């Protein structure tokens, strides 16, 4: 068995490297440490069906023949791998960009480079491996995080080449700002302060909206984060920053929303830009803040039906199983319908549990395959009402670490909303 793991306190560079290793070594088992950064948790929770990670407790460490370690070179930064430390028959492959460590590897891939992910992307490019846009987005987040959006002095030309490669493979820049924590410096602080001094809120369609304009000179990174903080501080449902650059004769409009009814992606699209429901931006040739403000207000007012409710994005009809169905039959059904989990109902058609592929890992003996599914299902059923929206479903998934939520109308399951449904929505892949 081959496994790949990375450092505790996992960040995006580490996670991206872990996933990159799965591309380079097909069939390898990715083992994620128990402690990971909070922004990473949100990302993994939404993408769990795509990236199937294991914990160190879920793998038989005795059976490991090859250990791949990425983005660290120290045994004490690994989670629960002590038993492998002195194994003579173990092959160790290292991918790292840190200078010191104590893992003696049989094969070392080391380079002085901004992000470890860049090193691995170079290998993926060399081997002409195919990667998905979601993998490309994750790799890009890893590189941006470890290079401070390519501004840290440790950034190399190799990192930039990797970024170019990933953008060519459709990495999604909008999704980055949702998950990355960006640098907040003096420049950003001054702009935020300026915006707060002149902050005003108005009500449009029952929502508290704030539009603030400010002049900037030269390049100011992370304005999106400033708008995000501004929205949170003044407690608006949606906030827009109009950043006028008189030198370059253009304006950057950045929006952030916490309510699904004000869809920033749709608003920005109407202004020639783009984004997703919570965040977006557009670049304008106009430098008159009043004109831009008026245009924004008009679009938001006219933007009545942007809210997508779960009924529109959920999957149906729902395949469900009775609680007394034997486990092996459930496994067959799961394979046949090709999904990762099913709701379990009792004889009165009431939902009593959920069974997922992950629950099957609890099965130790072959004889247990004949037991009723109720013995292995999770009984803690979390459901959501059909008129709630995708953001509420995503919040529920992240909070409870689940990937499928039954959608309920009048006490009956009418559909299932899955991570991929929510994800498609966030990635703006829904047909118009």
Q: Which residues bind Mn ion (CB under 5 A)?
A: 13, 71, 116, 146
Nearer to Mn ion, 142 or 278 (CB): 142
Nearer to Mn ion, 30 or 278 (CB): 30
3-state secondary structure the chain: CEEEECCCCECHHHHHHHHHHHHHCCCCEEECCCCECHHHHHHHHHHCCCCCCECHHHCCHHHCCEEEEECCCCHHHCCCCHHHCCCCCCEEEEEECCCCCCCCCCEEEECCCCCHHHHHHHHHHHCCCCCCHHHHHHHHHHHHHHHCCCCCCCCCHHHHHHHHHHHHCCCCHHHHHHHCCCCCCHHHHHHHHHHHHCCCCEEECCEEEEEEEEECCCCCCCHHHHHHHHHHHHCCCEEEEEEEECCCCEEEEEEEECCCCCCHHHHHHHCCCEEECCEEEEEECCCCHHHHHHHHHHHHHHCCCCCCEHHHHCECCCCCEECCCEHHHHHHHHHHHCCCEEEEECCCCCEEEEEEHHHHHHCCCHHHHHCEHHHCCECCCCCEECCCEHHHHHHHHHHHCCCEEEEEECCEEEEEEEHHHHHHHHCCCCCC
Nearer to Mn ion, 171 or 224 (CB): 171
Q: How far is the CB of 18 from Mn ion (least distance, A)?
A: 11
Q: State how far the Cα of 366 lies from the Cα of 58, in Å rounded to an integer.
A: 18
Nearer to Mn ion, 116 or 156 (CB): 116
Nearer to Mn ion, 73 or 116 (CB): 116
Q: How far is the CB of 11 from Mn ion (least distance, A)?
A: 7
Q: Which residue number has the CB closest to Mn ion? A: 13
Nearer to Mn ion, 71 or 323 (CB): 71
Q: How far is the CB of 17 from Mn ion (least distance, A)?
A: 7
Nearer to Mn ion, 13 or 392 (CB): 13
Q: How far is the CB of 152 from Mn ion (least distance, A)?
A: 11
Residue 272's Cβ-count burial label (10 Å; 0-12, 13-18, 19+) is exposed
| Residue among 357, 358, 355 at smallest CA distance from 373 | 355
Q: How far is the CB of 15 from Mn ion (least distance, A)?
A: 10
Nearer to Mn ion, 103 or 227 (CB): 103
Q: How far is the CB of 262 from Mn ion (least distance, A)?
A: 37
Q: How far is the CB of 35 from Mn ion (least distance, A)?
A: 16
Q: Which residues contact 1 (CB under 8 A, 6 or more apart)?
A: 29, 59, 60, 63, 64, 65, 66
Q: Considering all CA atoms of the chain, what is the largest pairwise distance in Å, rounded to the nearest integer?
A: 74
Question: What are residue 54's phi and psi, to 5 degrees?
Answer: -115, 155
Nearer to Mn ion, 146 or 172 (CB): 146
Nearer to Mn ion, 13 or 260 (CB): 13
Nearer to Mn ion, 146 or 359 (CB): 146
Q: How far is the CB of 361 from Mn ion (least distance, A)?
A: 30
């Amino acid at each position: 068995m081959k496994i790949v793991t990375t450092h505790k306190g996992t960040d995006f560079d580490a996670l991206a490297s872990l996933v990159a290793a799965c591309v380079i070594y097909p069939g390898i088992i990715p083992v994620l440490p128990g402690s990971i950064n909070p922004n990473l948790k949100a990302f993994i929770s939404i993408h769990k069906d795509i990236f199937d990670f294991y914990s160190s407790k879920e793998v038989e460490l005795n059976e490991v023949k090859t250990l791949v370690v990425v983005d660290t070179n120290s045994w004490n930064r690994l989670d629960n791998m002590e038993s492998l430390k002195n194994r003579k028959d173990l092959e160790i492959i290292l991918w790292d960009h840190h200078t010191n460590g104590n893992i003696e590897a049989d094969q070392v891939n080391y380079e002085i480079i901004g992000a470890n992910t860049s090193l691995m992307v170079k290998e993926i490019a060399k081997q002409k491996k195919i990667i998905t846009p979601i993998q490309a987005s994750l790799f890009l987040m890893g590189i941006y995080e470890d290079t401070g959006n390519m501004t840290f002095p440790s950034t190399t030309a190799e990192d930039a080449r990797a970024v170019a490669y990933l953008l060519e493979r459709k990495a999604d820049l909008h999704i980055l700002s949702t998950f990355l924590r960006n640098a907040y410096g003096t420049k950003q602080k001054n702009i935020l302060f300026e915006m707060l001094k002149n902050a005003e809120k108005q009500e449009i369609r029952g929502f508290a909206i704030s539009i603030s304009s400010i002049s900037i000179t030269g390049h100011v990174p992370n304005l999106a984060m400033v708008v995000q903080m501004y929205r949170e501080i003044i407690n608006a449902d949606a906030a827009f920053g109009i950043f006028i650059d008189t030198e370059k004769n253009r304006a950057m409009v950045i929006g952030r929303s916490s309510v699904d009814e004000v869809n920033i992606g749709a608003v920005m699209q109407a202004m020639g830009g783009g984004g997703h429901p919570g965040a977006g931006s557009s670049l304008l040739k106009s430098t008159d803040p009043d004109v831009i403000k008026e245009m924004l207000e008009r679009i938001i007012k006219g933007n009545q039906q942007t809210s997508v409710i779960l009924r529109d994005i959920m999957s149906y009809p729902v395949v469900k199983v009775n609680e007394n169905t034997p486990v092996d039959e459930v496994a067959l059904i799961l394979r046949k319908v090709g999904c990762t989990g099913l709701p379990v109902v009792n004889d009165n058609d009431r939902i009593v549990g959920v069974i997922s592929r992950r629950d099957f890992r609890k099965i130790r003996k072959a004889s247990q395959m004949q037991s009723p599914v109720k013995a292995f299902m999770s009984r803690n059923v979390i459901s959501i009402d059909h008129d709630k929206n995708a953001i509420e479903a995503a919040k529920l998934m992240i909070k409870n670490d689940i990937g499928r939520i039954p959608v309920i109308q009048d006490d009956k399951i009418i559909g299932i909303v899955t991570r991929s449904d929510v994800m498609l929505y966030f990635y703006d892949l829904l047909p118009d």
